[in-house]
Amino acid sequence: MTATRTDPVPVGAAPLTAQHVLAVARDGAPVLLDDSAMARLATVRAHIDDLAHHPKPVYGVSTGFGALALRHIPPERRIDLQRSLIRSHAAGAGAAVEPEVVRAMMLLRLRTLMSGYTGVRPETAATLAQLLNSGLIPVVPEYGSLGCSGDLAPLAAVALALMGEGEVFGPDGTTMPAGPALAAAGIEPLVLAEKEGLALTNGTDGMLGMLVLAVAELNRLLDIADLTAAMSVEALLGTDRVFASDLQALRPHPGQAGSAARMRAVLTGSEIVASHRGDDCPRVQDAYSLRCAPQVHGAARDTVAHAEAVAARELAAAIDNPVVLDDGRVESNGNFHGAPVGYVLDFLAIAVADVASIAERRTDRMLDVHRSHGLPAFLADDPGVDSGYMIAQYTQAGVVSELKRLAAPASVDSIPSSAMQEDHVSMGWAAGRKLLRAVSGLTTVLAIELLTAARAVELRAPLAPAPVTGAVLDLVRTRVPGPGPDRHLAPDIAAVAELIRSGAVNSVLDREVSDS
């Protein structure tokens, strides 16, 4: 069952799922710490406390960090060491990242703390849970993570808030100093003990949170893409024969089969498609942007499925350096390297750009009087006096061009840091940031195709659209008027994009497809 705001997400007893992350990040679901996991934290912490007073240096416990790891820190300075680590690492810059990304990152870091492999005190995990449940959200700047040694600067911004320093967003969305905000919420600021600074910052939680959020959006948007493609086929007097299951089975990619099946369902019962299905139709085949939609959308679906598999593995991981193993060893490792997540974030940006690109080609075809099979130029009411959707396609093209730039992989770029101790980094955080921008761009591109196809389908009257496309068209018309003289177009695009973002289009689509 998906967690809701009144349904706490348990942390520590079992692995988290993507639905748990979405519930906490987007719906504000509270977290509930597992008692047995908290007991394990106390047991492991006792071992760290012993090491803290041992003459043998242990990284992160009694040494400096990164290139300063050879510096032995005397016991009386080790509390200062942890506080200084957080203050120095909270070195981000730029605009604040989205609150849902920060909440996802906090939950995922809490999950690793509760694994018992990091050596933190139970009260440290409890304070992070309190901060999540309070509704206060640390201000996390966009730049500062190289995606290796964890998302250091972003996670340090969260840890800084736990210490009562830095800034947080309050429940009303305004920023305020963290100290007074914690006091008002009844949260005692943390004084970090040995190793806890590392444990709070050394994970891939930011990039993983962005991956989970992006995958959820893309699963919805790919359903929308199948819808808009089918509606464009209908508007352009295309054929649905190419989406037949026996043809798709000749190339057995699961995503392709799924997209073709959805397009068939969307077009079922269309008078428009049926009107030119006979042997007297002179057209042999449709353009690639129509005919190959299942192949492109399906490849994107299969890429998302791979990304989901990677995310599931990461959700089961405990990432810290060093880690406290079950036999009591404290070992350095490289599990904080973000390559597995960074790669799939980049893969998804490529898929997003291609799905948007093929959607823009379908839109342009509906606007071109030479290729639209009888539709007015640019779907204008009075072409020449009116420009119709001419410039909406410009906007689409501009966004698609941006998406192509965002598809350039971040994960192939490594910049050495920390005096060459950290000489190969993943740039996974950067891959996540550009993927979220790409997902937003795809939403705009699909909104414009939906807006255009809806008008084009209406212009095929008196032939009726399919029940599914008709129902979606009716939804669009609750926000945007039908064909007529030119009007301010930007609000129409924004209204349809908001319908998509809200899930309203998916709700109608899912209901109608299941009934068809």
Give one DSSP letter per residue of 445-493, joined into a string.
HHHHHHHHHHHHHHTTTTSPPPHHHHHHHHHHHTTS--S-S----HHHH
Secondary structure, 3-state, 194-260: CCHHHHHHCCCHHHHHHHHHHHHHHHHHHHHHHHHHHHHHHHCCCCCHHHCHHHHCCCCCHHHHHHH
Are the C-beta atoms of residues 29 and 23 closer than 8 Å to each other?
A: yes
- Quote the radius of gyration of the chain (alpha carbons, Å): 26
The closest alpha carbon to 273, from 297, 299, 238, 242, belongs to 238
> Catalytic amino acids?
59
Provide the 10 A C-beta neighbour count for residue 92: 19
SS3 content of the chain, % helix, strand, coil (to 5): 60, 5, 35
What are the counts of helices (DSSP H) followed by strands (DSSP E) for the chain?
Answer: 20, 9
DSSP class of 414: -
Q: Which residues pair with 93 in a beta bridge?
A: 143
Q: State CA 477 to chain mean position distance.
A: 29
Residues comprising the chain, all counted: 516
Are the C-beta atoms of residues 347 and 303 closer than 8 Å to each other?
A: yes
Q: How far apart (Å, rounded) are the C-alpha atoms in residues 467 and 512?
A: 8
Q: What is the maximum span of the chain, computed from C-alpha positions, in angstroms?
A: 90
Q: Which two tokens stand for residue 467?
A: 């029940």
Are the C-beta atoms of residues 209 and 25 closer than 8 Å to each other?
A: yes
Question: In which element (H, E) is residue 351 found?
Answer: helix 339-367
